[in-house]
Amino acid sequence: MASAAPTFPPDFIPTRHGARRDDARAALGLVRLAIRGEPEPSRALWRDIGLALMQGDPPADRLVAWMQANGLARQRERFEQALEHGIETVKDAPGPLRDFFALVDTRPPWVSERLLREALPIIHRGGIDYFYVGRDLALMGGYQASAFNKTLLITGALQKGPTRRVAETSTWWRDCTTDGGLERFGVGFKATVRVRFIHALVRSAVQRLPEWNTRDWGLPVNQTDMAATALAFPMIMLVAGRLLGVPVSSREVETAMHLGRYVGHLMGVEPRWLPWDEQEGLTLLYRLSLSITNADATSVQLGQALMDEPLSRHYAFLGGLRGPLERQRHLSLSRFFLGKQGLKNLGLPTSTLPWYPLLRVPVNLGRHLAARLVPGGRARLEAKGKAQIRAVLAQMSGAHEAKVGEAAQHLAR
């Protein structure tokens, strides 16, 4: 049963902040190797990261509070009308709704349409390899942030199983990186604003539940957690993608970082947690992860569920063989990316060998080199990458295509 949200002084830092900092360093070895210079945060920055565990998204939080006070179901209809067709199509649009959409509809002056457009072919060429990175490093490794796991479990976001969550997350990223996806009425823009709204609903609901321990865990879906999530996709994609033999130039890195920064902005991440370049992003991701990496029993619960996720996909043929093979392929990638300590933290078999990346790297290097040399090669690689993502999403979704935010929609009723 929900009650009033607990209050804390403005300088309060939850106990989970860096509670297992040494273990976190061990789990972040891959990121640390890619950072030039000293990544450890200063005392002032470390304090700011801790304080951000208690900070939400004020514009979205104010909107949700107003909607809840004025009939959530009715105001949700107005929200969807404004999101899908523009605030000007909402008759007698109330002030709080106009204020929110005035914010999200206005692109920051630093956003470059050219850079956003140039980022898409790079991401498409990564194809299935970037899916592997997102699933087996970002998502699997992220389960070591146990407080975020508790939010997923408490809200029932995993009731339909890990396959649906992987499909939702992958669908969201596909929408953000589709042609025109981040234009005002593009699928990625709308999906990200909808995720932002769902996050605000989760913060409002979960922090009032008796089973939520704010003193230890902080605010649900806080700035530190959101920033680490937003950073994980472009940063880990670039770094780990290279390790799988997917080359990127400095210009391509710049465009991918720009796209990731804009997506983070739309999601409600504060500007100070949105880096401009790869080294800044890697260093920040390392520092944020030092704070939130704190594996516990929920890490094992979710890690093992994600390990078995390939067994429940909808394969067109030979599912009894392909499911176990995919399970081993993903485990091999997680072993490569997370190391034995990461597998141990997640309750995964530490005897797993990184066999698949060793096979994949020479294949990728050859394919991408050929694509740069042969006329039309890059375009064919992009088309193949898109087809690979469509295929794997179809395997995970089956007849019912995953919709972004679907797992937590019950909070909006």
Contact indicator for 303, 249 with CB cutoff of 8 Å? no
What phi, psi does 219 have (nearest 5°)? -80, 140
Query: Cα 281 to the chain's mean position, in Å?
Result: 15
pLDDT at 412: 53
pLDDT greater than 80 at residue 405: no
Q: What digits encode the pLDDT tens for the residues 303-346?
A: 999 999 999 998 888 889 999 999 999 999 999 999 888 899 99
| 231-253 pLDDT per residue, tens | 887 877 788 888 899 988 888 89
Close Cβ partners of 363 (under 8 Å, ≥ 6 residues apart): 245
pLDDT grade, residue 408 (50/70/90)?
low
Those residues whose C-beta lies under 8 Å from the C-beta of residue 83, and which sit 6 or more positions away, are: 101, 190, 193, 194
Q: Say what the pLDDT of residue 267 is.
A: 96
pLDDT the model gives residue 374? 92
d(CA 132, CA 128): 6
Q: Can you give the pLDDT at residue 399?
A: 61
> What confidence category does residue 46 fall into, taking pLDDT thresholds of 50, 70 and 90?
very high
Question: How far apart, in whole angstroms, are the C-alpha atoms of residue 237 and residue 93?
Answer: 40
pTM for the model:
0.92
Q: How many CB atoms lie within 10 A of CB 288?
A: 24
| pLDDT computed for residue 352 by the predictor | 93
Report how far Cα 325 is from the mean position of its chain's Cα atoms. Answer: 26
Question: In the structure encoding, which two tokens stand for residue 190, read together?
Answer: 């709308």
What token pair was written down for 139?
């998502």
- Predicted pLDDT at 2: 56
- State pLDDT tens for residues 144-197: 998 889 998 998 876 677 888 888 988 998 999 999 999 999 999 999 999 999
Looking at residues 31-43, what average pLDDT do you find? Answer: 89
Radius of gyration over alpha carbons of the chain, in Å? Answer: 21
Task: Kindly state the average pLDDT of the residues 245-272.
Answer: 93
